Copies of this chain bind each other. A is one copy, B any other.
Amino acid sequence: MARAGLTTERLIRAGAELADEVGFEHVTISALARRFGVKVASLYSHVKSSHDLKTGIALLALEELADRVADALAGRAGRDALAAFAAAYRDYAREHPGRYAAARFRLDPEAAAASAGGRHAQMTRAILRGYDIAEPDQTHAVRMLGSVFHGYVDLEMSGGFSHTAVDPDESWSWIVDSLDTLLRDRTTP
């Protein structure tokens, strides 16, 4: 029998694609096995469990998202950086809804430590360098930015904004603009 050439890497990549197609919550070992045309048990040589697979997809998504954000931030500061960060974040979620959901998968401590979570935190703090905000306000601001961006994307993806005619793109711009003003006013000299 010809071998399918399964590897942990390939399974996680295919799992990420599957997540974007059918939703992260519907990514199963069974569906992945069907996709590769192999039996379910065969996957267990490459991933320890369903949870392990999901963790792998989550780590991949966090990495990809961090790469995009890093790219977006390169050479920008202040309002520009804020807008680029916001755009990178929202675009990723819209292009890869399943991966984005995966990035929000609750990781156990070891996985979290090995994740790109630290890069994300660093980059959010980097944005604030353009605004002169000292601790502990800086941490408050980091949390606020994370909350707005994540919250907006989450509500938008779950259809929360579809009951009003107002263009979500315009709301997004308005919000980024407002946050810029807010951070500027919060400067601690």
Residues in A lying within 8 Å of B, measured CB to CB: 104, 106, 121, 135-137, 139-140, 143-144, 146-152, 154-155, 158-161, 163-164, 166, 168, 170-171, 174-175, 178, 181-182, 185-186
Contact = CB atoms under 8 A, between A and B. Distances in A.
A166 B136 contact: yes
A175 B186 CA distance: 11
Given A158-B104, A160-B146, A140 B175 contact: yes
7 contacts: A104-B158, A106-B158, A139-B164, A144-B148, A147-B154, A150-B155, A178-B186
Contact of A171 (B143, B159, B175): B143
A85 B139 CA distance: 23
B170 A140 contact: yes
A164 B180 CA distance: 24
A98 B25 CA distance: 17
Contact of A182 (B106, B137, B181): B181
B140 A146 contact: no
B136 A146 contact: no
A143 to B, nearest CB: 5
A8 B150 CA distance: 35
Given A143-B171, A148-B151, A178-B182, 5 more contacts: A139-B171, A140-B166, A147-B147, A147-B175, A150-B151
Nearest to A167: B136
A137 B175 CA distance: 10
Contacts of A150: 151, 154-155
